[in-house]
Amino acid sequence: MRSPLVDDARTLWRLRGLVGVLTRRELVARFAGSAGGVLWAWVQPLLTIASYYLVFDIVFAMRMGENAPTQRVGTYLIVGMMAWTAFADAVQRGMSSLVDAGGILQKNPLPPVLFPTRAVLASALVYAPMLLLLALGYWPLHQGSPAVLAMLPMVLLQITLAWLLGYLLSILMAALRDVAQVVAFMLSVGPFLAPVLFPITLFPEGWRWLLWLNPMTAWVLGYQAVLLKGAWPPAEVGLAMGVWLVVLGLALDVALRRSREQLVDWL
Amino acid sequence: MTPQAAMFAETVLRVRDLGKEYRLYSSPRQRLKAVLTGRSTHRSHWALREVSFDLQRGQCIGIVGDNGAGKSSLLKLLAGTLRPTTGSIERIGRVTAILELGAGFHPEFSGRDNLYFGGSMIGISREEMVRLEPEIIEFSGLAEAIDRPVKTYSSGMAVRLAFALVTAVQPDVLIVDEALAVGDQQFQKKCIDRITAFREAGCTILFCSHSPYHVRTLCDQALWLEHGRMREFGDTEAVLGAYETHSRQREAPVEVAEAAAPPPLPYERGPTSALIVSCELSNLREGNPGLLDSRDLVATITVRGKGDERPNIGFMIEQARGVGITSLATHEEGAAPVYLGDRTWRSVLTFPELPLHSGDYVISVFLFDESGLVTYDLWFKFLTFRFLSPKLMPGLVRLPHHWS
């Protein structure tokens, strides 16, 4: 039997023009009617970065404890928070994309996969450039180490992760709307269960394995290694990324197989 | 075979053993469980089962059936918005569905912007749209309003734009779900003209309607669905005749004539609308019902037409509590109404020696456009009259006959 996930990937490639149109439209529609328009999409995260830097590094000049990859709190926080915000935004938008597109899907013969994809891509268009630009802002820390090259694949893999998870959750949400509430809660506590706010060394050694249950732990550690120390991401980070992507890919494939035929009826 | 005949013989739609199962879960929780565990406790409802047919290029097929017979499911499967549970659908060329118009327009964006976006959703590229745009805007009649946000449109305007968009490109298969009721009289006529033009250009049309009149006028084949299965498929008249007999038998215990509400007029009325002005029966005495004091039934029908287009008039007699007896229309018989000036037309319909037995009869009058496809106005069962036949034999109608 053919894998529905592979089918979807083929469909996306075939309809790549439409994916482009839909993605652009999603971004523009979000800010339709505002004077600033689509620029707000980038202004918001930029302001967040600026305020972390101002508050923690300039006004309070807070310092991290021993063994932290950097001493400045704001500098440390920005890396993890940008990665997490990008992930949470993409997953959340991806998750509600199918239910939101219910009306369109019931009246137009379009493959459902278009909608989680456009939601995740629209989010990525905002955050991926931000993450990549951090590499410039953090030049004094990594000093142009070749490890910076790892940023691009990591960002692309993060987008893939968000797409797999967002699409999977969008199917679950189509089945049961309450899924959205549970996921919203998990996304709000997620930053505490990853080395986003505190370095991993601050977590008790016996409980550190718990952090790896958060898919973003791998990516946050990877970005921190590159941006704060100019080091290549450690091997376990790459391994964790691979495991998460494969597990989510298989789960999504199963969910698609079980729901494909009735998905549109549930919207 | 001539090239044209060869073109028409081409199969554009092949449906084999099509089935659609709806899984009914006792709660959405069960649905989630089904996705997570693969086990499910659902009840099955088969909306459609074992449906197979072929459609050739240029055919027009009408789908009839009671509510819940699976008509909408079939159209959605053919349009591709639903996925079949069993069987297969092979489609050749471009398939356009007019299922529900105006879905997917974004209220904040202008009509023009929505046009480009909506076009990309139905496979019209930007370059193609640049070429089609003037024609679409012209057809929709929106003029400058095209650059206003869609949220400022009336529902009629949005639907007009949507219809103009989906029909901008000539499809190979057109699927229409009773969507002929679009906008005002004038636009409705434009819609029907366009669908007729598609048909003449060799487009295959699937048409789902509750109006047997429209199915008869438009379609050369009909498909009767019952409880999701094909009951009959073949020539329109044979299938519709069987379907109507079936409907009558089923409804027989109820007093249909009393219960049936007049079908609503499918359009908005305006000051320039075409309408029926009057219908008078000669020699009708006062009373309830009035007694026809004549051997002949003479109806004088006056209507107001649309512009300088010549309208057509329909007339129907039914038993007051029972079956239809006859329906007649000017366009069917080449009997044009007479022009009286000022958009007013008149027809006088005479039944000499009215061949009915004694009883109460109810009449309806219809006003059609020139083609007979658009119903501009109808007076449905608006007048009941009593007729006393000089012959006192039981029955309904004296058929032409001779003894030998």
Task: Assign residue B310 the CATH number of its domain.
Answer: 2.70.50.60
CB contact under 8 A, B38 and A110: no
The CATH number for B119's domain is 3.40.50.300
Instruction: List, as ranges, residues 17-36 from A with C-beta within 8 Å of B.
Output: 17-18, 21-22, 25, 29, 32-33
Dist. CA B120–CA B127, nearest whole Å: 10
Dist. CA B28–CA A266, nearest whole Å: 9
User: How high is the pLDDT of residue A235?
Assistant: 92
Total tally of structural domains belonging to chain B: 2
Asked if B146 is an interface residue toward chain A (Cβ–Cβ < 8 A), one would say: no
CB contact under 8 A, B100 and A107: yes
pLDDT digits (tens, 9 = 90+) for B183-196: 677 777 888 888 88
Residue B270 lies in a domain: no
Residues of B in contact with A177 (CB under 8 A): 28
Q: How far is CA B386 from CA B255, B278, B391, B392, in A?
A: 19, 20, 15, 15
What DSSP character marks residue B152?
G
Q: Do B240 and B298 reside in the same domain of the chain?
A: no
Q: Residue A21: which residues within 8 A CB-CB, separation 6 or more?
A: B117, B120
User: How high is the pLDDT of residue A187?
Assistant: 93
Asked if A264 is an interface residue toward chain B (Cβ–Cβ < 8 A), one would say: yes
Residues of A in contact with B35 (CB under 8 A): 171-172, 175, 255, 258-259
Q: Which residue of A has its CA nearest to B121?
A: A18
Dist. CA A233–CA A157, nearest whole Å: 14
Q: Which residue of A has its CA nearest to B123?
A: A18
Strands B60-64 and B204-208 come out as parallel
Residue B285 lies in a domain: yes
Q: Where are the beta strands (DSSP E) in B261-374?
A: 275-281, 290-291, 297-304, 312-319, 324-329, 338-341, 344-351, 359-368
CB contact under 8 A, A21 and B28: no
Top pLDDT among A34 and B253 is at A34
Q: Do B225 and B297 reside in the same domain of the chain?
A: no
Confidence of residue A86 (pLDDT cuts 50, 70, 90): very high
Confidence of residue A35 (pLDDT cuts 50, 70, 90): confident
Asked if A15 is an interface residue toward chain B (Cβ–Cβ < 8 A), one would say: no
Q: Which residue of B has its CA nearest to A258?
A: B35
User: How high is the pLDDT of residue B305?
Assistant: 87
CB contact under 8 A, B99 and A107: yes
Number of CB pairs, chain A paired with chain B, less than 8 A apart? 73
> Residue B121 is nearest to which of A110, A171, A259, comparing CB atoms?
A110
Q: Nearest CA of chain A to the CA of B175: how many Å?
A: 12
CB A37 within 8 A of CB A28: yes
Residues of A in contact with B28 (CB under 8 A): 175-177
Residue-averaged pLDDT of chain B = 82
Of A59-73, A136-150, B211-225, the range with the highest mean pLDDT is A136-150
Residue B400 lies in a domain: no
Q: Do B227 and B298 reside in the same domain of the chain?
A: no
Q: Describe the strand order of the beta sheet including B60-64 as a list of residue ranges.
A: B95-98, B173-177, B204-208, B60-64, B221-226, B229-235
Q: What percent of chain B clears pLDDT 70, i.e. is strictly above it? A: 89
Asked if B39 is an interface residue toward chain A (Cβ–Cβ < 8 A), one would say: no
- Helix, strand, coil percentages (3-state) for chain B, rounded to 5, are 30, 35, 35
B103 pLDDT more than 70: no
- What is the mean predicted confidence (pLDDT) over A219-229? 92
Q: Do B294 and B345 reside in the same domain of the chain?
A: yes
Of A46-55, A166-175, B146-155, the range with the highest mean pLDDT is A166-175
The lowest-confidence range among A10-24, A192-206, B88-102 is B88-102
CB contact under 8 A, B31 and A264: no
The domain in which residue B311 lies consists of 275-387
User: How high is the pLDDT of residue A97?
Assistant: 94
A228 pLDDT more than 60: yes
Predicted complex ipTM: 0.77
Tokens of A148: 């910076």
Q: Do B24 and B114 reside in the same domain of the chain?
A: yes
Dist. CA A168–CA A120, nearest whole Å: 12
Check the CA dihedral A27-A33-A34-A37 and report its sign.
Answer: positive
Q: Nearest CA of chain B to the CA of A224: how many Å?
A: 35
The lowest-confidence range among A41-55, A64-78, B66-80, B304-318 is A64-78
B295 pLDDT more than 50: yes
pLDDT digits (tens, 9 = 90+) for B237-293: 888 888 887 877 776 554 444 444 555 565 556 667 888 888 888 888 887 788 888
Nearest CA-CA partner of B228 in B72, B90, B91: B72
Domain boundary among B249, B267, B284: B249
Stated pTM of the model:
0.77
Residue B266 lies in a domain: no
Dist. CA B179–CA B159, nearest whole Å: 10
Query: Which residue of B30, B32, B129 to mutate against A (max A Cβ within 10 Å)?
Result: B32
Nearest CA-CA partner of A265 in B227, B207, B174, B84: B84
- Cβ count near A131 (within 10 Å): 24
CB contact under 8 A, A262 and B22: yes
Q: Residue A213: which residues within 8 A CB-CB, separation 6 or more?
A: A193
User: How high is the pLDDT of residue A91?
Assistant: 96
Residues of A in contact with B23 (CB under 8 A): 262
Residues of A in contact with B105 (CB under 8 A): none
User: How high is the pLDDT of residue B252?
Assistant: 56
Q: Do B222 and B290 reside in the same domain of the chain?
A: no
Residue B399 lies in a domain: no
Dist. CA A174–CA A251, nearest whole Å: 16
Q: Which residue of B has its CA nearest to A101?
A: B104
Q: Do B208 and B288 reside in the same domain of the chain?
A: no
Q: Residue A163: which residues within 8 A CB-CB, separation 6 or more?
A: A90, A94, A116, A117, A120
Domain boundary among B249, B283, B309: B249
Dist. CA A207–CA A193, nearest whole Å: 11
Residues B123-131: contacts with CB within 8 Å, 24+ apart? Answer: B123/B94, B124/B168, B124/B169, B125/A17, B128/B169
Tokens of B226: 């019952």
- What is the mean predicted confidence (pLDDT) over A78-101? 94
Q: Which residue of A has its CA nearest to B78?
A: A109
Residue B126 lies in a domain: yes
Top pLDDT among A244 and B2 is at A244
Confidence of residue B182 (pLDDT cuts 50, 70, 90): low
Instruction: List, as ranges, residues 150-209 from A with C-beta within 8 Å of B.
Output: 171-172, 175-177, 179
Q: Do B173 and B210 reside in the same domain of the chain?
A: yes
- What is the mean predicted confidence (pLDDT) over A37-53? 88
Q: Do B292 and B212 reside in the same domain of the chain?
A: no
Nearest CA-CA partner of A86 in A146, A144, A141, A155: A155
Residues of A in contact with B103 (CB under 8 A): 103-104, 106-108
Asked if B151 is an interface residue toward chain A (Cβ–Cβ < 8 A), one would say: no
Q: Nearest CA of chain B to the CA of A151: how many Å?
A: 34
Residues of B in contact with A258 (CB under 8 A): 34-35, 38
> Residue B28 is nearest to which of A109, A175, A265, comparing CB atoms?
A175
Nearest CA-CA partner of B374 in B278, B257, B289, B273: B273
A148 pLDDT more than 80: yes
Q: Residue B245: which residues within 8 A CB-CB, separation 6 or more?
A: none
Instruction: List, as ranges, residues 101-140 from A with C-beta within 8 Å of B.
Output: 103-110
User: How high is the pLDDT of residue B251?
Assistant: 64
pLDDT digits (tens, 9 = 90+) for B326-344: 888 988 888 889 998 888 8
Residues of A in contact with B99 (CB under 8 A): 107
Residue B268 lies in a domain: no
Residue B92 lies in a domain: yes
Asked if B122 is an interface residue toward chain A (Cβ–Cβ < 8 A), one would say: yes
Tokens of A88: 């949470």
Dist. CA B305–CA B308, nearest whole Å: 7
pLDDT digits (tens, 9 = 90+) for A157-212: 999 999 999 999 999 999 899 999 999 999 999 999 999 888 888 888 888 888 99
The size of chain B, in residues, is 404
Confidence of residue B1 (pLDDT cuts 50, 70, 90): very low
Q: Do B101 and B197 reside in the same domain of the chain?
A: yes
Query: Which residue of B91, B113, B121 to mutate against A (max A Cβ within 10 Å)?
Result: B121
Confidence of residue B2 (pLDDT cuts 50, 70, 90): very low
Residues of A in contact with B102 (CB under 8 A): none
Q: Do B110 and B241 reside in the same domain of the chain?
A: yes
Of B103-112, B122-131, B388-397, the range with the highest mean pLDDT is B122-131
Q: What is the maximum alpha-carbon separation in chain B?
A: 80
Domain boundary among B200, B231, B249: B249
CB A116 within 8 A of CB A17: no
CB contact under 8 A, B31 and A177: no
Dist. CA A121–CA A93, nearest whole Å: 10
CB contact under 8 A, B28 and A176: yes
Residues of A in contact with B79 (CB under 8 A): 109
CB contact under 8 A, B29 and A176: yes
B18 pLDDT more than 80: yes
Confidence of residue B221 (pLDDT cuts 50, 70, 90): confident
Q: Do B231 and B342 reside in the same domain of the chain?
A: no
- Cβ count near B324 (within 10 Å): 14
